[in-house]
A and B are shown apart, each in its own frame.
Chain A
Amino acid sequence: MIEFSNVSKSFQGDWLALKNASFKINKGEFAFLIGKSGAGKSTIMKLIYLDIFPEDGYINIAGYDSRTIKRKDIPFLRRKIGVIFQDFKLLPDRNVYDNVAFALKVTGESYRNIRKKTLDALASVKMSHKRNSYPYQLSGGEQQKVAIARAIVREPFILLADEPTGNVDPENTAGIMNLLFEINTLGTAVLMATHDHSLIKKDINQVIGIRDGKIVKPENIFSKLDIEETESAL
């Protein structure tokens, strides 16, 4: 469903953020992307929703090829991908309902469906009771739940979670994680980027380690071993 094939990406010409990365994420899978800060996790996330493009190699996302996709097709790809961030990215001037409905309105969803889908998404993250609240009235955990509702309201095939618990207290972290697992059991693939080993469940499908822009075995993300020898862990 998502395939990275020898993908390299540099920024500002010289800084290589990702080097020859190859991995696959299958339909309905829950995968962790683990690595230290600056290892290249967010770069992988951005490459998946084609916010940035690889310089070498290619990415295939549900049939869309990064080498051949047209600019006008990117919005249609993004409608199939949900994304959440550490900083939630909610609109402060809209209430919870409008923040979630926003994703449907700006993509031309019919008015009849907007209300139903928005309320369903809020119910699935257990935030229906706060639908009239504004983001500043919510805790970090609640804001992230609203962001998750916005990400899943279009029923994406994959949810990309970039350090989703980074701004959430430990008590709410478990709630967010449970929500992500629940979403996964309903059939949506989840790729979660984190630097926190403790969040990884043992029975998880796949753990992708990343160190200095290279894919490594998860246990090697902090080791000083020569990563050239340990890459292609998957």
Chain B
Amino acid sequence: MQTASIVKKEKKEKKWLVYFYVLPAFLMHLLFIALPALTTFYYSFFDWNGIGAKTFIGLQNYREMFGDSDFYVALVNNFKWILVFITVPVFLGLLMAAWVSKLKKTQMFFRTVYFLPYIIAASMAGRIWCTYLNPYFGINNVFKALGWTSLGKTLWLGNKNIALYSVMFVDLWHFWGFVMVMFLGALQQVDPTLYESARVEGASKGQEFRYITVPSIMPTLTFVIITIIMWSFLTFDYVWVMTGGGPGNASELISTLVYRMAYSHYRTGYASTICVFQTVLSVLAYAAMQLVKKRGWDV
């Protein structure tokens, strides 16, 4: 009887102790991430410059945002960004993964090289590329030497029709290898006997790709596309260090607009409102991804 009660007591003690395992991580995140995020939502209803008194203005910031032409420029640029990033790296990554997965001796080499730029900080790589793209002392000199005068005169980051695409180009350099490695991992999971039986039945390479490869990588493809959409709403570093959203607001994204509003114009309330909008978009993409995962597509 006595031992039974001791065991019981011990169990009770353990049950209570377990919260000490989880609570530190939980509170740390709640205090420094979740509550500040809610505070952003709270700020979005105020007119505030970050220093003086806050004035409650209800939904006025939201009304201003939906009537703000700068906001629409940023939003359209963000959608251009998404369009480019869900096509170019996905197509390139898929094609290269299909090829690289067939390689034997050199597979590791290409995987290492293609993934390498992804681990370098966007802020650092962005600045290095800026230097290469310098109109007077950068690659334009090489173009001029080759006799390509019009390329040699291009202001890659200073022309408002080109700046956004120049930054995208650099981010593609940085990013597509990540997509390639994701697909490579997925292709290596495909059951090789499927290909064998397809070959026995006389399927062409194209048919193999269409009926075996594509279905097996569908979960990864979906995951990659949703991830790209989510990240595209948040992308900041490359644009900020390369053009700062300029020239004018030609390469402005939602994130750079937020940053300028908050730290150059000191419109903290309004910046928070745009933040709320941005967060909602990216959380929606994240929720879509969780739904996809629930369908059993484990990636």
Task: Please indicate whether A and B come from the same complex rather than being unrelated chains.
Answer: no
A residues neighboring B (CB under 8 Å): none
B residues neighboring A (CB under 8 Å): none
